[in-house]
Amino acid sequence: MKNEHIKVNALVLVALVMCVQSLLSCQGFRMETYDGQRKPDAPPAKHLKRAMDHTKSRSDKDMADVLEQFQGLHPKPIVSLSAEEARQQPTPADAVTALLRERNQSANPITIGKTENRLIPGPGEPLPIRVYTPLGMGPFPVIVYYHGGGWVIGTIDTYDSSARALTSTVGAIVVSVEYRKAPEHKFPAAHEDAYAAYQWVLRNADTFGGDPSMVAVAGESAGGNLAAAVCLMARARGELLPVHQVLIYPVAGYYFDTPSYQENAEAKPLDKPMMVWFFKKYLRTPDQGRSQWIDLVNAPNLSGLPSATIITAELDPLRSEGKRYAERLLEAGVPVTHQNFLGVTHEFFGMSAVVRDARRAVRLVANGINGAIDDPAFSRDHGRLGKGIQIEPLQE
């Protein structure tokens, strides 16, 4: 009888262990760790409100109106969430839509010629892309576009407005790439996907109305990092270089103590804790943050890279590294246009429906790409690459 009790107790213990494991599996976000450390709890609501109010007070009216709407959507701080939960949170793009509806303005997307969703080969799995074609007759220049989201969140859909604005204003086909994301796919998965998509466009642009001799790369935030890295990868691997690189508030370093990180540590919609969270999700180890594909500002050799348009935002932790990368490119003899937009935050570029500076930024990009195509000073022919052209003063 005693042995039977022991067996029953043992079975109960095993069942309890299995039950706990099952619960942890179903709710793994509650126990996510990195380097043995448990993820932080959500900041107090009062702290979040104070941070948002402070950002709004420093913003221009257009940006403040968007932030007000974003605050009303009650996004949770992603540092307290799993990647899966973070991907379900409201976005600044949702705030733009809400603002348009509040004003009884159309929230319909910018009209272009057509869009087409496709799958292309990738290094790990097929990559979804969306091809945005402008009105008119081709062949058109092509922009390979990488969306933002810290290599963890964000989709082609989230950044649809940016792709459409570029298509319409530049008069180019935009190929928006859905790369693999962390933590499911760690560094360098997103980078290799970005490069594979660029190569595919070079070899297939003529099949969808594009000109394979006029292919540029562009990206926002983590996507800006990918666009810059693709240029480095193409040069190192002997591939044809893009005609131009558009880096919109790019991740360009693995540092959290720059002047803009200190000024905007609690800015919204992007703050310092979020950037730490993104890096922890994407990098296998902190040492990978020293890769030149991540730490662009300290890449040993930037000579011979394509001309660049670099856009930064005043109220953004990434402002200083974007400015520094512009300086490094200029020092290497690469033609660069850089502009820092005052009174706006990270993610402003895709808000052209409601933020005036977003429209200005899109026009700046159009000028840069068209200049790269038309002006020998911006040519990717290394034999004709002239002295770096500083069109806009580099600002801190």
DSSP helix/strand/coil, 168: helix
**Model confidence at 40, in pLDDT bands (50, 70, 90)?**
low
Residue 197's alpha-carbon distances to 6, 91, 148, 201, 292, in angstroms, are 61, 26, 16, 6, 20
Higher pLDDT, 38 or 222: 222
pLDDT score of 308 more than 80 = yes
**Model confidence at 169, in pLDDT bands (50, 70, 90)?**
very high
**Model confidence at 56, in pLDDT bands (50, 70, 90)?**
very high
Q: Structure tokens of 165?
A: 């604005």
Annotated catalytic residue, options 160, 271, 316, 357: 316
**Model confidence at 51, in pLDDT bands (50, 70, 90)?**
very high
Is there a cis peptide before residue 273, judged by omega within 30 degrees of 0? no
Higher pLDDT, 144 or 27: 144
Share of the chain above pLDDT 90, in %: 81
Judge whether 235 and 295 are in contact, CB under 8 Å: no
Give the start-to-end residue ranges of the domains of the chain.
114-384
Q: Which of 45-49, 336-340, 378-382 has the lowest mean pLDDT?
A: 378-382
pLDDT score of 20 more than 80 = no
The pTM is what?
A: 0.87
β-strand partners of 132: 115, 174
Rounded-to-integer distance, Cα 140 and Cα 211, Å: 6
Dump pLDDT digits (tens) for 100-156: 999 999 999 999 999 999 999 999 999 999 999 999 998 999 999 999 999 999 999
pLDDT score of 381 more than 80 = no
pLDDT score of 39 more than 80 = no
Annotated catalytic residue, options 176, 221, 307, 320: 221
pLDDT score of 196 more than 80 = yes
Is 357 considered catalytic here? Answer: no
> Residue 151's closest CA among 184, 107, 114, 199?
184
Rounded-to-integer distance, Cα 215 and Cα 201, Å: 8
Q: What is the average pLDDT across 224-247?
A: 98
Annotated catalytic residue, options 147, 191, 338, 346: 346
Higher pLDDT, 201 or 9: 201
pLDDT score of 223 more than 70 = yes
pLDDT score of 94 more than 80 = yes
Q: In the predicted model, what is the mean pLDDT of the chain?
A: 89
Q: Structure tokens of 14?
A: 């095993």
Is 147 considered catalytic here? Answer: no
Higher pLDDT, 54 or 1: 54
Judge whether 152 and 183 are in contact, CB under 8 Å: yes
pLDDT value of residue 234: 98
pLDDT value of residue 43: 77
Is 221 considered catalytic here? Answer: yes
Rounded-to-integer distance, Cα 263 and Cα 245, Å: 28
pLDDT value of residue 373: 82
pLDDT value of residue 38: 64
In words, the CATH class of domain 114-384 is alpha beta
12-16, 364-368, 377-381: which is most confident: 364-368
Q: How would you classify the pairing of strands 173-177 and 127-133? A: antiparallel
pLDDT score of 231 more than 60 = yes
